[in-house]
A and B are shown apart, each in its own frame.
Chain A
Amino acid sequence: MKNSLGAVQSVLVLGGDSDIAFATLRELICARTRTIILAGRSPERLEARAADLRELGATSVEVTHFDGADTGSHEAFVDQVFSHNGDVDLVFVAFGTLGSQMEDELDRERTLTVIQSNYVGAVSVLIPIAAALKHQGHGTIVVMSTVAAERPRRSNYIYGSSKAGIDWFAQGLGDALKGSGVNVMIVRPGFVKSKMTSHMEDAPLAATPEEVAQAIVAGLRRNHEMVWVPGKIRWVMSVLRHLPRAIFRRLNL
């Protein structure tokens, strides 16, 4: 159960090898978390993460297969996780793929892969997750969105649109779950230095996975529905969002 100060005891991570998720789990273990389920595509990398988490103090860490794009498997996956473990206090929807805009936009299949994973897949798994948490009468869902979901940019509109989709879906889901004991928190970081962006140069206001993790933990403590990392990027984005399109386009972001 989540305690009165927002510290959770058990966590399911979808996209269990994510750098941001790992940094968050570190923080959560410091507070209370003992039970962790890492779900993802690469069992070997998840096992390595699991070993690290045990070292840090988690007492029960399990690894299980999950592919966000394989929507047909999601209901059975959620069933399996919730019937074999106790309550899950926090579900962290961390998986996401950045794709490669310039190549993807020349290839319909590749574009659809990004959408299928980041949007369709996330929606597909959130539906049974929300139902399972509702059934247990409590729980928090953390959804990784991005500032790129705020306004389409020439340089990453495929990824941006997929994240905008899941961001909007998660906002609506949060409203639908009001009064059910289940909360949805959306996280919108700017550029984060993780393996997702290791091939790129740091953008302005770049954050570390640890900074994202701290913002998430603070958000859980204060019951926030939306978390921006770093905090001031919220104000930057609210200016950018209101720029006339012709000007925004010329900024070449």
Chain B
Amino acid sequence: MLKRLKSMTGMTGEDGLPAQRLLTGWGRTAPTLATVSRPTTEADISRLMTASPERGLIARGLGRSYGDPAQNAGGSVLDMTGLNHVHHFDVENGLIGVEAGLSLQQLTSMVLPFGFFLPVSPGTQFVTVGGAIASDIHGKNHHVDGSFCNHVTAIDILTPTGERQTASPEQNAGLFWATAGGMGMTGIILRATLKLPRVETSRIVVDTDRTRDLDEVMHLQQSGDERYQYSVAWVDCMARGSSLGRSILMRGNHAMLQDLKSGERATALSTRPGPGVTAPPFVPPGLLRTSSVKLLNQAWYRKAPCQERDALHTIKQFFYPLDWIGEWNRFHGPLGFLQYQFVVPDTRHDIVRTIIEALADGGWPSSLAVLKRMGPARGPLSFAIPGWTLAVDIPAGIPDLNELLDHFDDLVADAGGRIYLAKDSRMRPELLPVMYPQLMSWRDTVAQIDPQRIMRSDLDRRLRLRAEG
């Protein structure tokens, strides 16, 4: 277990010395070998940076990106999880200064007792603050609160020229926004100051609606999401015909103290422990094939109430429904899996339907997909644009998947949408400048920050993130 955990996070050998390791992302595809070090001080990081390894260097958080942004074949990878201290916590204003390797799980368990929560929660709490910034992640509240970096008031970053710089939206803003969503290419984020929202309890008051089809869920989301801070729809991408896109829509707000029963108020801010179950180390290929995924999706859909109002969920139930099984990514077998996540502008919601239809009609074994509405984001490479985002898991290794997803990419790009780099493991580099119109200006900024091209990752090589397309 310990060994497996280590290989997952890319930790180094027993003695803490740099070690050669095969790394993959959460999807467990396309492993490459790198020299992994796990620095525990900022001085260690400086030393590793100035050594400027031949094939460059990249930071790695908890490896929860699906593809290859936290890998660097033949080069150096810095496992940042050893830098996980809290430097200051201003309980008056909810400002907390933390090291970049701190996980959101560690952060939540520290601040919740003081009546604070995360400004943005992804679908797992096992991501680091550095990873959250580098992907400018979004949560179920994007339509209200925007992306993670909107709540970062400052970062300290070691840039590739060896300088330790402070950047914020006010000061050094070019560096700040190039780093937000910049997939680690601007240097090693050392620390960040976050502005945390206040909460009275650790519960969410949740309204659930089971919808017949896609139209119904999209209509509900469009017309009612403003009333909720959090909104997410789980879509069964294998249901066809009149059930196409049937969903469970879950929306909620933080519970106030008065929403709890009087007996629960004393423990209003408590949480429960982390994952208890772990997936077996070897799972045969094809376990999650079309038939079994269809059944799973159906069971999930049927289990949900048709309509439920004001149910109290814990934070884990509502935000991290998969976190209770450690390493669930192993269920997809040795060939791994990928997540296809795109966003399209509001006016092009037809693309969401087209893609779900193609998945359902083709019988692709796509487990539950997540459909959300998004607002704008600020970083030139930040993923979010106002519109609809769909994220769907599909096992790798099935024939013709590459062609299918390339076709989806074309639809998405044509519609003015884009693919989420934190989830991508497969797209064509040619589409990057089309999907991210600010790519050129981002490249110019990064060329100044890293003239020697020290920051390198497999994603950078695959998508030519930094080079001319």
On A, residues with C-beta under 8 Å from B are: 1-7, 9, 31-32, 86-87, 134-138, 179-181, 218, 221-223
Contact = CB atoms under 8 A, between A and B. Distances in A.
B74 A135 contact: yes
B68 interface: yes
Interface stretch (B25-33, B167-175, B236-244, B374-382): B25-33
Interface string B330-362: 000011101000000000000000000000000
Given A5-B396, A31-B402, A137 B74 contact: yes
**Which label, helix, strand, loop or mixed, suits the secondary structure of the B interface?**
loop
B32 A137 contact: yes
Closest 9 CB pairs of A and B: A137-B74, A137-B73, A4-B29, A4-B425, A181-B33, A1-B462, A138-B32, A3-B426, A138-B73
Interface of B: 22, 27, 29-34, 55, 67-68, 72-75, 334-336, 338, 396-397, 399, 401-403, 405, 425-429, 458, 461-462
A77 B239 CA distance: 55
Contacts of A222: 335, 397
Contacts of B72: 137
Contacts of B67: 4
B72 to A, nearest CB: 8
Contacts of B338: 4-5
Contacts of A221: 397, 399, 402
A7 B401 CA distance: 11
B426 A181 contact: no
B246 to A, nearest CB: 28
Contacts of A31: 402-403
Residue among B32, B67, B405, B458 facing the most chain A CB atoms (10 A cut-off): B32
Contacts of B396: 4-5
A155 B68 CA distance: 49
A218 to B, nearest CB: 7
A137 B399 contact: no
Contacts of A218: 399
Nearest to B25: A4
In this complex, which of A4, A136, A218 has the most chain B Cβ atoms within 10 angstroms of its Cβ? A4
Given A137-B33, A138-B32, A4 B27 contact: yes
Contacts of B336: 4
Contacts of A3: 29-30, 402, 425-427, 462
B68 to A, nearest CB: 7
Nearest to A133: B74
B32 A181 contact: yes
Contacts of B74: 135-138, 181
Given A1-B461, A87-B73, A135-B74, 20 more contacts: A1-B32, A1-B73, A1-B462, A4-B67, A4-B425, A5-B397, A5-B426, A7-B402, A7-B426, A9-B462, A87-B461, A137-B33, A137-B55, A138-B73, A138-B74, A138-B458, A181-B32, A181-B33, A221-B399, A222-B335
Given A135-B74, A136-B55, A137-B73, A2 B30 contact: yes
22 contacts: A3-B402, A3-B426, A3-B462, A4-B27, A4-B336, A5-B426, A6-B397, A7-B402, A9-B429, A31-B402, A32-B428, A86-B461, A87-B461, A136-B55, A137-B32, A137-B33, A137-B73, A138-B33, A181-B73, A221-B402, A222-B335, A222-B397
Nearest to B337: A4
A1 B30 contact: yes
Nearest to B66: A4
A138 B68 CA distance: 12
A5 B458 CA distance: 15
A44 B429 CA distance: 32
A105 B219 CA distance: 79
Given A1-B458, A5-B396, A138-B74, A180 B30 contact: no
Nearest to B334: A223
Contacts of B73: 1, 87, 136-138, 181
Given A7-B402, A136-B73, A180-B33, A1 B68 contact: yes
Contact of A4 (B22, B426, B429): B426
Contacts of B335: 222-223
A2 B336 CA distance: 14
